[in-house]
Structure 1
Amino acid sequence: MVIMISLAPRGAPYQLSMLVLLSLPACAIPAEWTVVPSLRMRESYTDNMNLAPPGQAQGEFTTELAPGIAVSTDGPHLKLALDYSLQKIHYTHRADRSTQQLDAQGHADLMRDWLYLDARSSISQQNISPFGPQVLEPTQATANSSTVRATSISPYLQHHFHGLATAQLRYDYQRVASGGLLGVRSDDTNLRLTGDNDGQGWNWDMRADRKHIDDNALPPVSMNDTALTLSYPLNSRLSLSATGGYEKSDYHTGGAQPQGRYWSAGGNWTPSPRTKVAASVGRRYFGNTYSLDAEYRMHSMFWSLNYNEDITTTHGEFLRIQPTGLSDFLYQLWAARIPDPQTRLQTIKVFLLISQMLGPDGNVNFFSHRYFLQKDWKLATVYTSPRSALALSLTTTRRTAQSSSAIDSPLLKPDELALEDRTRQSAAQAGWNWRMSPRSSVTVGASHSRAESLSTGRSDRNSVLTLALTHQLQPKVSASVDLRHVRHTSNAGGDYHENGIGAALTVAF
């Protein structure tokens, strides 16, 4: 059976679809489905709706009506989580408007040990640039925000040949669009063979990848990558690996051609079930490369430290799968505290949203048609007690453009084309949740971020404080009150501050 869920308003630039394939009837096993329609009503006020400097700020009351639906199942052949809402926003001094929020992902086993399908889709409001006013909630509207629609559909064949290898042939179709600002489609075909040595001695992994990218502002781009990895376990806790390969891309660059041989060497250390460290060092056509992925779990605490560097794009970052370490840890730890899975997921989502306010890592994935060398550092931790949780994160993202700024002329003013040649974004974030009673909780969030243009010297800072109180009135009715204080400063001018308050009532059916 095939289910097509189409979520796009009439007249939208294209029809956004989420394809979910259920397991074949002949081998289907009944699974429990959870379908929760909801309605959220919210009244809010801000003293600076347009995020303008003092003297130009405009206060505004807003009324938000947001019907939504959450669908989930976790069966043996299908895993699906979909959360969609449509916000109808009424303003007192400007025209009404509508926004959408969608977060959906699914995995289906269509033919066990042969045919599978992964799919993801999202609709979200994103800041266009890290420089200038930063939108924090759907009611705000500035020239520095836009709606982004992203979709990925990936069927693949996978089979285990005992004693030889596991083979996977995957096709991935991706699409990212945001009005006339972004419009990118890509087709990716990947073949991967992983040796089967039953965990004894040397093993190998070979992959070949070919991607074709169509950007509405650029000529088509092809990217090819072929690599072989050899690994050897020194013991049950430590293994070493080495990779060699060749890559070639044909996007236009003013420097070295994006092609050549590459190599890396590293290891995986797992001294206990609670600790793991993976690290590597290597070299690619743009220079030396390093990576680090470390996690440490305690009964009530989780730590993670990550470093990664790669060639990336704006649309690629919108489709990147974010690490789930913190959310997985909270989901397991809060099983006794919040027994209902849906309520637990929603509580975790709100908690992480408040403690990570400008994006998944506190930094802005700014709009661009260019290719970048991106280097990311992230240190994150969460500590929990029976009634509270504290999350902290420190992040730094550096981007160095690999292609000409001229292709971004539709996005930037002529005197701003060099603004994003080299950038550095840093953020410190904290979130604290206290469960005052079985039905009431308070969440406090604080964030300070800095966006720097290393090529022009511009520096923008954003500080945010939030407070949210929630109370479960009835099993399916909850109320919340939220407060917000924002300060933005820049050495290029445009400083502003904003205060907001809102009260919401959410009913699940």
Structure 2
Amino acid sequence: MKFGALTWLLLLPVAAQAQSWAISSNVQTNVVATTNSTAATSGGNRSDIIASLKPEIDITNGDSARVRVRVRLGADLVAYAHGSQPNRIYPLLIADERAALIEHLLFFESGVSVRSVERDPYAAREQAGTSQNRQTSAVYRVSPYVQHALSKTDNFLAQYEEIHTRGGATTDTDQRFSNMHLRLARLPVPLGGFVDFESRTARFPGVAASQWRVDSLKAGIDFGVSKELILGPVVGKERTSLFLQDHSDSLFGAHLEWTPSERTRVAAEAERRFFGSAWTIDAKHRSPYFLLTFHLGRTPVTSVEIAGSRSVGSDLGSVLNAIVTTRIPDATAREVAVNGLIASRGLATDVQGPIEIRADYAQLQDNLRTAVTLLGSRNIVTLSVYARSVRQLQRTGGITANLVKPNADNRQFGANLNFNRKLTPELTFDLTTSWSQITGTAARLGDKSTDRLVRVSLARQLAPRTALVLGLQHERLATNVTTGVPFSATSVSAGLSQRF
């Protein structure tokens, strides 16, 4: 915690200069009666009544040129009437900022994420308002950098990034990533290019053999085929330190960027690297009533995502914010409008994704995620799909000599559907269904768990800032893991939300 706290204390004088602050807060109280609070098999299940209190505050300063700040701070206080589970307090802090310390030259970014994650990846998914399979995880990030336009066409970047993670009560799965990036680029008018150097290091608390480093130097040519399309080849060299061995390899590939309009963008790159083929494809299209995002990639795990500071699509709030950009140009007013919409319609802000399993060794990740959101006058529909596979990172044709045990390799698939309809000016219906599956590989070959959940609710607007939510939920877990048990649980809930 000291790492993240010190970062934000240093930035307070800069942040104080920012204007147009938007502050919104809310308190949610919820009571749940469940048939199976201990997630036990039939016959061992235990009913209970769960009460929770969830205060939260959101702070943002809009689009200030000097500093941009967004903070989401809260807690989830959970208590069990019959003592079937221990009472707990789960903190929440998601914050990120970007400060221009010297205008047009020196910048500083930082982020912190303290939130609940799954304690056991093969058990049921964690849920707010309960103690089910929850533990607190923390990620801290700092990144100073120099970015300067040398001319109308030439740009220079020198960036350093440090990321620390804390996965639970022990340091066994703590991770530390250090990334250094130097880049000199010329815009394609119509011919441009770049020279790029990156040094990425990953350190783990385990054996020395699990530490790794990759240094790469590459150059590329950019052809401006048109104002909308840029493409070109990439060549270079990279040096790797992996499993106590050093190697040098050539790399080559190509990249493409297509921007047919300010609302649509597609970027892709493919390279041949020391571990085989690598690629990244990102696409986004938005309209005043629609947002589509798509990502497909194969890369080594060189960082950890921090909620709130990464790409649009990680939470419903950022999605709705992107959709209404045209309708509400002012960032502060847009933030207030989105928060009000979420609260009045009883929407869940977090979109369920793959379980973050932090390994104590280097991994290669294949990742697919796509989401589409439709925003109408009465209906809000969100569909998201993800697939992720992580395995031990090694050279093409290389061997690990059993230096580390790959007990965190896995494959995950999942889908989420949310349908929200405004029945009357005061009454809203909400349906949420989710399905997720995790299958172990390597040291956990054969382990498999599948979680299914259906939830329906009605939200009644009692006052402009007060809403009552009644819900019914059923969850079922199927698993063959020896440390877990299959179970099903049905619950009813009543909650009150108050915005300030």
Q: Deviations over 1:44-72 (max 9, x none)?
A: 22222222222222222122233332221
Structure 2 counterpart of 1:396, which letter? A
Distance 1:286 1:98 in 2: 43
Residues 1:342 and 2:366 aligned together: no
Matches of residues 430-441 of structure 1 in structure 2 within 5 Å?
430-441=417-428
Q: Which residue of 2 aligns with 1:136?
A: 127
8 Å CA contact retained: 1:274, 1:296: yes
Q: Which residue of 2 aligns with 1:414?
A: none
Q: Quick one: which of 367, 370, 382 aligns to 2:373?
A: 382
Displacement, 1:251? 3.6
Higher RCO, 1 vs 2 (CA within 8 Å, ≥6 residues apart): 2
Identity of aligned residues (%): 18
Q: Which residue of 2 aligns with 1:302?
A: 291
Q: TM-score, normalised by structure 2?
A: 0.84
Q: Deviations over 1:178-208 (max 9, x none)?
A: 220432233333222222x4x5122122222
**Taking structure 1 as reference, are residues 65 and 163 closer, same or farther at Cα in structure 2, changes over 3 Å only?**
closer
Structure 2 counterpart of 1:174, which letter? I
Distance 1:481 1:340 in 2: 28
Distance 2:319 2:492 in 1: 31
Q: Deviations over 1:214-240 (max 9, x none)?
A: 322243543323222221111223221
Q: Which residue of 2 aligns with 1:179?
A: 169
Q: Which residue of 2 aligns with 1:237?
A: 228
**Taking structure 1 as reference, are residues 14 and 43 closer, same or farther at Cα in structure 2, changes over 3 Å only?**
farther
Number of corresponding residues: 477
More off after superposition, 317-326 vs 292-301: 317-326
Structure 2 counterpart of 1:341, which letter? E
Specify every segment of 5 or more residues in structure 2 that has no aligned partner in the other structure, as ranges: 395-399
Q: Which residue of 2 aligns with 1:479?
A: 468
Q: Quick one: which of 99, 104, 109 aligns to 1:108?
A: 99
Matches of residues 26-175 of structure 1 in structure 2 within 5 Å?
31-74=19-62, 75-92=64-81, 93=83, 94-142=85-133, 145-163=134-152, 165-175=154-164
Displacement, 1:43? 1.9
Displacement, 1:84? 0.8
Displacement, 1:128? 4.0
Distance 2:413 2:116 in 1: 21
Does the residue aligned with 1:261 lie in a helix, a strand or coil? strand
Distance 1:405 1:501 in 2: 52
Structure 2 counterpart of 1:447, which letter? S
More off after superposition, 104-113 vs 157-166: 157-166
8 Å CA contact retained: 1:433, 1:442: yes
8 Å CA contact retained: 1:77, 1:109: yes
Structure 1 counterpart of 2:137, which letter? V
Distance 1:263 1:349 in 2: 49
Q: Quick one: which of 455, 458, 477 aligns to 1:469?
A: 458
Q: Which residue of 2 aligns with 1:222?
A: 213
Q: Deviations over 1:134-155 (max 9, x none)?
A: 322252234xx42101111212
Displacement, 1:481? 2.9
Q: Deviations over 1:8-42 (max 9, x none)?
A: 6xxxx9875551636769xx976111233443322
Aligned-residue CA RMSD (Å): 3.4
Q: Which residue of 1 aligns with 2:181?
A: 190
**Taking structure 1 as reference, are residues 277 and 49 closer, same or farther at Cα in structure 2, changes over 3 Å only?**
same
8 Å CA contact retained: 2:23, 2:60: yes
Q: Which residue of 2 aligns with 1:411?
A: none
Q: Which residue of 2 aligns with 1:331?
A: 321
Displacement, 1:384? 2.9
Specify every segment of 5 or more residues in structure 1 that has no aligned partner in the other structure, as ranges: 1-7, 409-416
Q: Deviations over 1:299-321 (max 9, x none)?
A: 533333321010116x6345795
Structure 1 counterpart of 2:48, which letter? E
Distance 1:350 1:119 in 2: 32
Distance 2:222 2:25 in 1: 49
Distance 1:241 1:500 in 2: 56
Structure 1 counterpart of 2:243, which letter? H
8 Å CA contact retained: 1:205, 1:229: yes
Q: TM-score, normalised by structure 1?
A: 0.82
